Amino acid sequence: MFKMKKINSIKTLFFLLLLLFSQSVSSYSGGGGDDDIYTQINRNMDVYGKLYKEIMLDYVDEIDGDKFMKAGIDGMLATLDPYTNFLDESRKDEIDLITTGKYGGVGITVGMKDSAIIITDILDGYSAQKEGIRRGDKIIEIDGNNLVGKRVTEVRQYTRGAPGTSLVMKVLRGDKELVFTLTREEVQLKNVSYKGTLEEGIGYIKLDRFSRYAENEIVDAITEIKSKGELKGLILDLRGNPGGLLDAAIGILNKFTNKGDLLLTTKGRKLDSERKYFAAENPIVPGNIPLVLLIDENSASASEIVAGAIQDLDRGVLVGTKSFGKGLVQVFQPLSYGNQLKITNQKYFTPSGRWIQAKNYFKENKYGVFKPNPYFNQKEFKTLNGRLVYAEGGITPDKVVDAIKDNELLEALNYEDMYYRFAVKFTAENPSAANFVMNDDVLNQFYDFISQSDFNYTTSAEYELADLKKNAEDKMYSEKVKSYIGLLEGELKSEKFKDFESSKPVIRQNLEKEILKKYNVPEKVIIDAVSKDDLQLQEALTIIKDRGLYNSMLQPK
């Protein structure tokens, strides 16, 4: 058994190295030809193979061959860009999620908080919700496997699996341990989470990801909106959309741009690798219908492909904050034994020629594995109408509207599921949705609720001050120093209270949404209700309703 595992590891390492080095044939002048590359491959494969064999056979302690090989691969890929990753067979569900938008699971999203695995979101209609799992529950065990100290990626291999199989999850809720038996189902994540009209004739579509079916869902959404009356304008919300498939982005752009428009250019390392993508069909939302895109710092990859093309072609107005800045394209390459390599093989450029990559992995690389390569120094570009746009790491909207950033209070309210817990209490005491109005009285009830509950949150500044206070005690600092620390504690409490005031619009929005969901009102009612506190969405509506303003924003200053 051990021998077979060792052979499999060596073969996997061989195939991975062969793939990595064979795709590294130099295309630069003075970089040598194919013979030089294959000489390097043969020499380095020989060194790797012998090193691996010697460690496995002669190292003083017994080594887990698979984990040792994986650590070597991870270390090697860490010298490249952040998006080139090795995916072993256990992470197949991640590939399925990216490509198809579905996987086998129980309907939860997990994250880290204070080194614990926390349930951060629960999908409607799946086992976790049906059995009573809550946001904020800390996962302790799954099927007897202790998850304390595990990473988020390690937890997924326990929660995901074949539909129809079950798992036993132990969680910590407050100071109580609870046990749930959950059944995995095929979880289908929607690309379009909302479609409808905000005001008469103005459509709104929230696109959350770009999986294989995103284009079809966009077409269905536009068709449904059009069926309700004349389409006078459309808002496409890409905030928080991390991207997905390039082909899905190109397909969606076809629905808004003129046939024949250049949408994107991709370039690999070889001179003949350049590919240009053009709109291949007539749009279903033609150019005479105003279009506004909402983006933020979490709009990345395929979201930026769409936003960059819409901006460069002067097809619509961008509102929000600067996007993430990912100008690289990855493909999945199958390796042996069910493993895959997600490898960056191209850079992409918007129609005006912008490369919007923010993290300069090429310059930051401390190992020097990259050979000299011309760097992209051009910063200013022009749209179709002659407007100046910039390659400055991400895409800057035509109208920048800042939103309230997540802070430690807002994160804690989400993690501890306080909105949901209050909504349960509030709707039980006020069973009629018809009488519900979100006002300051409801907000004050919420503040009273969290004040009287077990809710508590500690800011990073408080953690640092606690460390300082301990050091002051351990090193017997003067009473004067200790008095200053006491003054700082008082100031921090005052600043902490200010978090509630500054975050009030977001708290109000989240609270109203959760209460309306508990009342089971139609989704349009929820969107209409919470949109009034969404400053970026309100700005988009203002622009799209004022045709003169809209047109002026698409002309050179």
Q: Which residues form the catalytic set?
A: 301, 312, 326
Dist CA 52 CA 73 (whole Å): 12
Q: Rounded distance, CA 96 to CA 104, Å?
A: 10
Alpha-carbon distance 36 to 41, whole Å? 9
Distance CA 43, CA 49 (A): 10
What phi-psi label fits residue 438: left (phi over 0), alpha (psi between -120 and 50 degrees) or beta? beta
The C-alpha atoms of residue 481 and residue 465 are separated, in whole angstroms, by 12
- DSSP bridge partners of 55: none
* Amino acid, res. 349: F
What proportions of the chain, in percent to the nearest 5, are helix, strand and coil? 45, 20, 35
Joined tokens for residue 30:
């003075």
CA distances to 68, 111, 244, 442 from 418, rounded to whole Å, are 43, 17, 32, 14
Dig out the tokens for 430 from the structure: 């006020």
Nearest to 389 by CA among 190, 178, 553: 553
Phi, psi (degrees; rounded to nearest 5) at 350: -70, 170
DSSP per position, 114-144: TTEEEEEEE-TTSHHHHHT--TTPEEEEETT
In angstroms, rounded to a whole number, what is the distance separating the alpha carbons of residues 298 and 52? 40
- The 3-class SS string of 277-328 reads EECCCCCCCCCCCCEEEEECCCCCCHHHHHHHHHHHCCCCEEEECCCCCCCE
Is 205 exposed, middle or buried (CB count within 10 Å of its CB: 0-12, 13-18, 19+)? buried
Residue with tokens 């939860």, as numbered in its chain? 108
C-alpha Rg value of the chain to the nearest Å: 27
Query: Which tokens hold the place of 275?
Result: 């590919």
